[in-house]
Each structure stands twice: as structure tokens, then as C-alpha cells.
Amino acid sequence: ESAERLGIARARLLRTAQFDPERLEAKEGRVSPQEYSRLRELTLDLSADPALGLHEGEAMTGISFDVVAPLLAHAASLRHGLETLFRIHKLLGDRLRYELSENEHAATPRYASIAGISARVRRFMAELELTACRRMIHYYCAGARLQQVCFEHAAPTYRHEYTRVFQGAECFEQPFTGIVFDRALLDTPLPFRDEELYRALRAQAEYRVSQLTQRA
């Protein structure tokens, strides 16, 4: 879908990647890290957009994440949303992508890169994930100021796009990839949540996770 938004025909992308399009019909299907890396490499090549990870993160909608996005939309706070995401992460991928570290003053969701993918795709994924994480933080805490947005990779030639997206909080060649912000924001209550809807969506999400676990 992200390739199609860029005008890249789905059939062309899948044919070039030698990926069977019928696999896309399997709702609970999985692709290997190597297959995913290959598809992303081709999308980067065909798009000719080196900052695609940032741009795709900005263009994401809840529709792409099935039950996960509406469930997180009704969590009580950012902390509750992150805890919910950690609990049902298998609906998005087999491996937990984030861990939350805290000290007296700061909180940091840290992103763990997928093993077995190219450096180029690791950078793409870091851009995509931290752009999405920034949006999540601002959803729960409108107007929140990010202290640092840390990337393990070196600053790319399109650094100005990072500055546009992260408003100067970006820093490179760091020991981890993640976002640092005021710890107090974790427990800021979300004023327009629906607890009853949250419980119903959580039950559905947890059922789907259990189905995946049984198939594994």
C-alpha cells in the first residue's frame, strides 16, 4: 500500500521481488525479515525518495493497523497505550519492537532493530518507527516537547527532513534509537477515551494474539 501511494504498481513490486501475491490474502500471514528487507529495498529504489521512512511515517493512518489503532486510541494514558502495545505486539510483528526505560525525570521508548536486514532498511525502519512514535506521544500529550530523538545511524544527506519532522530534537550516532521526553507525560490522562470500547477492543485483540500463539 505504501508503494502504491507512491505510484508504484503492486504487481510490479511483487513481481520484481519474486513474492507470491496470493500470500497477501492470508490475514495472519508472516514474511521473513529477509523478505521484508527485499521489499523495502525495492520500494526505496523505485520511489527515488531517500527520506521515505520519514514520509511514510507521516502518512500512516489507523486503517493500516486493524484493531490495534482504535484500541490504542482509547487507552487511559500514554503509559497505558505503550503497555497495551507491548501486550499485543504480535498483531504487528513476531518481535517486540520497543522497550520503555525510565528515570526520575525522563522516559524513553527505545526501538530495537530487526535482525537480518540491510543497513539501508534499518535506517528506513528507524525513521518510520520514530516518526510513528512521535505521533503517538503527541496524540496522548498534545504539544509535548521531545527532549531528544536519537538515532544510531549517522546523519544522512537529507537531515533537513529530520529537522522538519522532529523540530530540531534529532541527534545521530547515539548508543540507541528512541525518543526521550518528560516522564510526567506518561501518566497524563487522555480526556476523550471510551473505557467500554477499550475493553471490547482489548478482548478482540487478545483473542487474535492467542490464535497466533496457537498456530506458532
What does DSSP say about strands 146-150 and 170-171: parallel, antiparallel, or unpaired?
parallel
Q: What is the pLDDT of residue 6?
A: 85
Q: To which residue does cell 496457537 refer?
A: 214
Where do the H-state alpha helices sit in 88-184? 119-140, 159-166
Q: What is the pLDDT of residue 216?
A: 56
Q: How confident is the model at residue 113 (pLDDT cuts 50, 70, 90)?
A: confident
Position 105 pLDDT exceeds 60: yes
Contact (Cβ atoms closer than 8 angstroms) between residue 178 and residue 111: yes
Q: What is the pLDDT of residue 63?
A: 55
Of the candidates 202, 209, 182, the one whose C-alpha atom is nearest the C-alpha of residue 80 is: 202
Contact (Cβ atoms closer than 8 angstroms) between residue 205 and residue 67: yes
Q: Is the overall model pTM greater than 0.95, yes or no?
A: no
- Angle of helix 195-215 versus helix 78-87 axis, rounded to 10: 20
Q: What is the mean pLDDT of residues 95-103?
A: 90
Instruction: Give CA–CA dist 165/117, Å, rounded.
Output: 25
| DSSP class of 184 | G
Q: What is the mean pLDDT of residues 157-163?
A: 97
pLDDT in tens, 32-69: 888 888 999 999 998 889 999 999 999 887 555 678 98
Contact (Cβ atoms closer than 8 angstroms) between residue 106 and residue 147: yes
Share above pLDDT 90 across residues of the chain, in percent, rounded to a whole number: 64
Specify the amino acid at residue 18. Answer: Q
